[in-house]
Structures are given as structure tokens and as C-alpha cells.
A and B are shown apart, each in its own frame.
Chain A
Amino acid sequence: MTIKRSPSRLFPLLTAIIIAALVAGCGAPAAGPPEAEPAEPAEPAAGGESAEPASLDFVVWSYGIETIQDNIKNFQEANPECQINLKDYSWLEYHDTMVGRFAAGDPPPLLYGSDHWLQEWASAGWLAPLNEPFPQVADYSGELAPYALQGMTYDGDVYGLSYYADTIDFVYNEDQLQQAGFDAPPQSWQDVWDMATALKEQGITEYPMILAFSQAEGASIEAMISMIYGRHTGEDALFDDANQPTFAQEGSAAHEAIQWLKEAYDAGLLDPASLQTAEIDQVKSMQSGAHTFTILPQYNMAELNRPESGEFAGKFRIALMPGDSHSTVGYVRFYAMTPEAAAMGEDALACAWKFLEYFGGKTDGNYAVVKRWAVENGLGFAQLPLFEDPDVNEAFGTWGDVDVIAQQAELARAKEGLTPWFGAWDVFTRAEIHKAILGQQSTMDTLNNMAAKWDELAQQ
């Protein structure tokens, strides 16, 4: 039985829809912050309504949410005309998710920022400089550790107030080191080698050193750079003023650092598992006493030395980064603002400053919130006056040596080469360093590849 079909009306309809969509999509592809966002449901335009508090979203990564909410509560009590809505994403996804939001044209007015993306985000116009609407931010700049101020400045403008700041530290297990017959921490990388060899020979630890060098680990590049800084005096360890690579030479600090790692890997001093280890596991491994030396961001010390965390709780010490200059990487995470805050109106902008000052600045002459993070959670700080605070000293003293911490902070430098393409270069570099350590290619080749990739990305 045949059915006479009437010509389907669906095909022309479908074609029309597709053409319409194409036409609608014409013009600048719709991404990037639109100039004047129509009033969004979550943030009513604050223009002169006296009773309505200005409502601002504040986006963070998911750490200490309860503490943040408590801080927000206190802030709102002191400033009833401002309402803050907390939103959070996990730290591992924070950067990527925020990039997605910026690209989709949905930036929040207030958020966390970090020095290693500042260049990316500021050059794209996603963050708003603070010194123009709020010149008073300059008062705080004087009290900051240099590396922190560097990390929050782009093109001469300041983009944030510090949430917390830390250095990348060389950490050792004091008990195990003493057991091997050493009373003082290593001063040079030769010391580290000799001590590690002794530890291994005496059977104290099978792999005396561990590093968090998994390709999934964001801090791995910071650890690598800190090892380079320690060996290098002055600036231009990696890039010069024009952001040209300076590391691809025989005898450079970078060459020595990577070569040392390769030899340590071959000699069984560096745990092969370092290539798959990320920060959390690194800390747990240290706690279990499986390794004596490591390099990690300082805030992990509080967890490392947490009482009852393991056999060696309280025995982990910070040493100045081995090498001639003892310099290391310092980084800062900060409270930042997007152009969204200004777009929301004067009241919102005023609230934004009050918020920034309450969290990253002083209330009644005290860095209240920063101090709270330091004392309760062991987070480092960039605000130098806090080093004098007795409460901070006492709290830090439970897990670290305050003098060493202060000393290392002075010797810390911001990462060189922070540019909009640093992230892409980082992804490439991690694999290259692995190849060097595994012996798949020579150290010099690795450095050349890294330099070439840098140049290529800079051209784009």
C-alpha cells in the first residue's frame, strides 16, 4: 500500500531556522563583556534607592566557606547598606570556570584573584584597576611585601588587596635528618644531594626527596621556578625586562636546576612517583614519613605539623631555599573587582570599596580578616606589620619558625614572565620538564623547546 506523501513542510522550516541562526550569529561573535548589561535578576541596579541594600556577588574558591560566610556576616552588620552573596567553585576549577564566565559575559563584581592570572585577566579588561576609583589603595601598598605588590600590579595599576600571600618553601623532616647525623638544614643543592645520599644509604628513607610535579598540579611550575631562583642572584633568572627568555643557556640556573632533578631521579634520590604527585598527596606522603625533603607552598605547614597527624607531627621545618641567593617564589592571592561593580552604579561601587577594605585592608587600624586567616588557618600574609603581631607569632609558632618565615618572605620574588600567555606556556613546560627528568631528551633541548614555545606564544 503506497501512501501519497504531501511534500513535507518541515524541510523548508528547518532550513529557515538554520539560516536565521546563522544570520543572528553574524557580527562580532557574542563573547566578552558587553558594555551595558541590562539589569540582571541577581543584582538590581543600585541607583538612589535608599532602602534597598546594594547586592553584590562575591566569587571565591571553595576553601573555608564557613569562615568566609562568618566574615561576610560581620561585614554586613557593620555596613547594612551592602549585601554580599557568596558563590564558590572548587580551587582546581576556579581559573577555568572564571575564564568561561568572563567569556560568556557574566562577570561577578567581586572575586578572588591570583598573581599568575593577573596579566591574562587584566590585559583582557576582565579586572578593574583599583587605584583609579580608589586612590586610597596606595596607602596599603607601602606595607606590603615587595613580591606581593608586584603580583597585584599590572601596567602600573594596582588590581587588588591581598587575601593571603605565601612563599614556596623548602621543608625537611628534622627527626629523620638528625637520625642521619645532620644537625643543620642544607644550604646548597650539593648539601641536599649529600644528605639525601646519606639518608638513602642508611635506609632511613628510600626516596629522600619528593616533589609535586604531576602535570595536573598547578603549583609545580612555582616549585620549579623557586629552585631556579635559589641558585640565581638578582633578576632575569628566566626572562629579561623585555620578557625574552634568558634561561636557554648552558650553566644557567634553570639548566642546573633541571639537570640536578634528572640526576637525582636517576640516582633514586628523587621519588619517581613525583611525576604523578599533586600537592595533597605530597603533604600526606611527608606526614607518613616516607620522605625527608620537599618543596611546597607555605600554607601547607599548618597541616603538615598538625598534632596527631602522624608520627612526625611538629617535626617539619622550613629551611631557606638552598642555593646562593636563598631566594624563592612568592605569590599572592587577592580580592579583586571587575568592571561589573562600576556598571552596577555608585552605591555598588562604594560597597565594593568598603568590602575590599574590610577584607584585605584595615578595620580600626587592624588587618582583622587577614589576621584571622593567619591565626586560624595558618595562611601566610603580605601585610608586613602582622609579623609584629603577638597572636600571629604565637599561632605561627605552633607550626613554623617565625624568624625563618620572615626572612624567606624578604628574599622572595614574584614570578618572572607573567604574561597573558604564561598559562599556555606552563602547560607545555610541565610536559617538557618531565621529558628531561625521564631522560627522553636532554636538558638543553628541553630549555630550547621551552624558549621556542615562549617566542611562538609571544608572537600570537
Chain B
Amino acid sequence: MNAKVKRRIESLSLNLLALLLIVFIVGPLVWVAVASIQGENELLRQPPRIIPHNPTLDNYNYVFTGKIPTAYEVKGQLRSRISQEARLIPQALKNSFIVATSVMIVNLIIGSVAAYTFARKRFPGKEAMLNFILGSRLLPVMAVAIPYYVIIQTMGLLDTHLSLILVYLALTLPFTIWFLTSYFKGIPVDFEEAAQIDGCNTLQALTRVVVPMALPGLVAAAAFAFMTSYNEFLFARFLTQSIDSQTGPVIIASIAGNPDASYTLISVAITLGLIPPLVLAIILRRRLTEGLSTSITFR
């Protein structure tokens, strides 16, 4: 009786904690989603309404089709005072997504290969290389922003996706490698040894044996690479010059910084910007908690 009650209390308090966490995590985002379907005036009341009285999809309509929402129509003026930059959101998010996905894939491929080598092999220069890779991230980026610009400009890559991909690779690879190296080390080496006896070379051991077991770690590294690239701002605003390559954060900053800024449009931008990572999260979440199955035994 006692143990059962204890377990019930335990379960209840844990659930309560989880609920609080969910509210803390999701609260601001729910607010943004709610704000995106309101008119600007409703938003600026004191206090603002959580449940909108007149929900409207006008704002989304404007972003995708250019139809001015009724709240902004002004009779007799040639152009209404709505942020034109909001129309650039879909293209900007597309840029963000392309860049982030590319960085993620390249990170996974060359990052895991290199990390596996660092985890399993011993060779001269290994320490130096690892320290070099990790040390490259120590200096705060603003000190090197200008040289980075010069490099990209010399390569003729200003205002392209490739420039961002390269820079983000340099920013994310060190951490990916560090993490995966440690992660691979945590996997018992027996299976690879068995595979090598069966004739696999290093690369095959990696792909056929280690990767399935290291899935949660790889997923974590992939998510890190994707998110870091998707969210990066300093270089995105410095190295891009037009909507050809401007990413989500840059456009949102523009919308938020102009005199005709409107919180409803900013909310629309943020809400739309959440969709690609959300899709990624749903795809990856199962992989994240698959792990070493219980069938692993030790000799």
C-alpha cells in the first residue's frame, strides 16, 4: 500500500513538473502564434488578449499573396503603411532551410568520419590536429568577422548560399567532431573488432556497425548543426546582400527594425520560421531515444 502511494505521488509530481516545463517552453511560442492571427490594435491593448476576439488570417495572406490586410488599408493613399519586407519571408526561410540542411548533411558525413578516426585510431599528429580544430572556435567571432568577409569576397562568393554554408561548416564542425569523438568512444569497441575480423575495413565498420548504435549521438550532432546554421545571425547579415541569400533571421531583424514594424507581421515571420525545425524535430525525435538495444551483452 505504501509503495503504491509513494509511486503515485512520485508520478504525480513528475507530471506536474513536466507540465510546468511544457508551459515555460511553449508559452512564448503559443503567444507568438496567437499574436500572428490578431490585428495590431488588439495586440497593443493593456493587457493584451490571449484569446483573440477577431482572429484573422489577413497577415498570412499578405505575406504570401501581397493582399493588404484590412487593418492597413487607407483610403486615398497610394501605398499603405505596411512593412514591405514581410513579403520576403517565404524566400528567406527557404534560403535558411537550404543552407541549414546542407551544413547538417556535410557535418554528418565528414564530421563522423573524422570523429571516428579520432575516437579509434592512434597516429602521430592526432593531438595537434584535434587541438587545432577545437582551438579554432575559441576566438570570439566578431574579431574575425572582417577577415572572413575578405576571404569570402576573394572567393567571389558574396551573397550566395555557398558562402554561408562554408562559414557555418567552419563554425559547427569543431563542436560536432568533439562531441562525436567522445560519443564514439563511449560505444564498446567489441562489435567493430568483430566486424574487422570478418573483413570489414575502417569505413565499413563505421557505417555498418557503429552508426546504427550511435544514432542518438548522430541525431544530436545533426540537430546541432542544423539549428546553429538556421539561427546564425552575425555572418548572415554581413555576408548576404539581397534576398537571393538573406536568411530568416536577417529578414525578421529588418521587419522589426523599420518604423513600420508591426508585431503581427513579426509574429507571422516567427511562426512560419518555426515550421522547418518543427518538421525536423518530429522526424528526428524517435531516432533520438532509440539507443543501444537491450540485446547487447558483455562478455
Does chain A bind chain B? yes
Asked whether B253 lies within 8 Å of A11 as measured between CB atoms, the reply is no
CB pair B259 A310 closer than 8 Å: no
Question: Given A290-B46, A376-B77, A31 and B146 touching (CB < 8 A)?
Answer: yes
Tell whether, in the assembled complex, residue A310 and residue B79 are in contact, meaning their CB atoms are under 8 Å apart.
Answer: no
Question: Who on chain A is nearest to B74 by CB?
Answer: A307
Residues of B within 8 A of A306 (CB): 74, 81
Residues of B within 8 A of A8 (CB): 124-125
Q: Per-position contact with B for A270-284: 1 when CB-CB < 8 Å, else 0?
A: 000000000110011
| CB-CB under 8 A for A377 and B81, given A88-B242, A97-B237, A284-B263 | yes
Distance in angstroms from B59 CB to nearest chain A CB is: 15
Which chain A residue lies CB-closest to B82?
Answer: A306
Whether B41 sits at the interface, judged by CB under 8 Å, is yes
**Which chain A residues border B51 with CB–CB below 8 Å?**
none
A11 close to B79 (CB less than 8 A): no
Q: Specify which chain B residues have a CB less than 8 angstroms from the CB of A308 in the assembled complex.
A: 41, 71
Closest to B124 in A: A8
- Chain A 5-16 near chain B by CB (<8 Å), digits 1 or 0: 101101100100
Count how many chain B residues have C-beta atoms less than 8 Å from C-beta atoms of the other chain: 42
Q: How far is the CA of A10 from the CA of B259 in the complex (A)?
A: 56
Which of chain A's residues have a CB closer than 8 A to the CB of B78? 375-376
- Chain A residue contacts of B124, Cβ below 8 A: 5, 7-8, 10
Q: Which residues of B contact A5 (CB under 8 A)?
A: 124
Residues of A within 8 A of B81 (CB): 302-303, 306, 377-378
A310, B41: Cβ atoms under 8 Å? Answer: yes
Chain B window 235-271, contacts with chain A (Cβ cutoff 8 Å), 1 for yes, 0 for no: 0011001100000001001101111110100000000
> Between A and B, how many residue pairs show CB distances below 8 Å?
108
Contact A299 B153 (CB under 8 A): no
A395 CA to B81 CA, complexed, in Å: 13
The reply to whether B254 and A90 form a contact with Cβ atoms under 8 Å apart is yes
Contacts of B132 in A (CB 8 A): 14
- Closest Cβ of chain B to A251, distance in Å, is 37
Alpha-carbon separation in the docked complex, A59 to B74 (Å): 30
How far is A280 from B132 in the complex, measured between Cα atoms in Å? 45
Contacts of B150 in A (CB 8 A): 30, 104-106
Interface secondary structure of B, over-half rule: helix
Which chain B residues numbered 263 to 293 have a C-beta less than 8 Å away from chain A? 263
CB pair A65–B84 under 8 Å, yes or no, is yes
Given contacts A8-B124, A90-B237, A67 and B71 within 8 Å (CB-CB): no
The 0/1 profile, CB within 8 Å of B marked 1, for residues 32-67 of chain A is 000000000110000000000000000100111111
**Alpha-carbon gap, A8 to B125, bound state (A):** 7
Q: Which of A93, A290, A302 has the most CB of B within 10 A?
A: A93
Set of chain B residues within 8 Å of A65, measured between Cβ atoms: 84-85, 88
A66-B84, A88-B242 known; A93 vs B237 contact (CB < 8 Å)? yes
B125, B241, B259 — most chain A CB neighbours (10 Å): B259
Instruction: Please state if B259 and A100 are interface contacts (CB–CB under 8 Å).
Output: no
Q: Which residues of A have CB within 8 Å of B45?
A: 288
Docked complex Cα distance between A90 and B249 (Å): 11
Complex interface residues of chain B between 92 and 125 (CB less than 8 A to chain A): 124-125
Knowing that A66-B87, A106-B149 are A-B contacts, what are 12 other residue pairs whose CB atoms are under 8 Å apart, sorted by A's residue number?
Answer: A11-B128, A63-B259, A64-B84, A86-B242, A90-B237, A92-B257, A103-B146, A104-B153, A280-B256, A283-B259, A299-B259, A310-B41
Give 11 CB contacts A-B under 8 Å. Answer: A10-B125, A88-B241, A91-B254, A100-B146, A101-B149, A104-B147, A279-B259, A284-B263, A288-B44, A307-B74, A309-B41
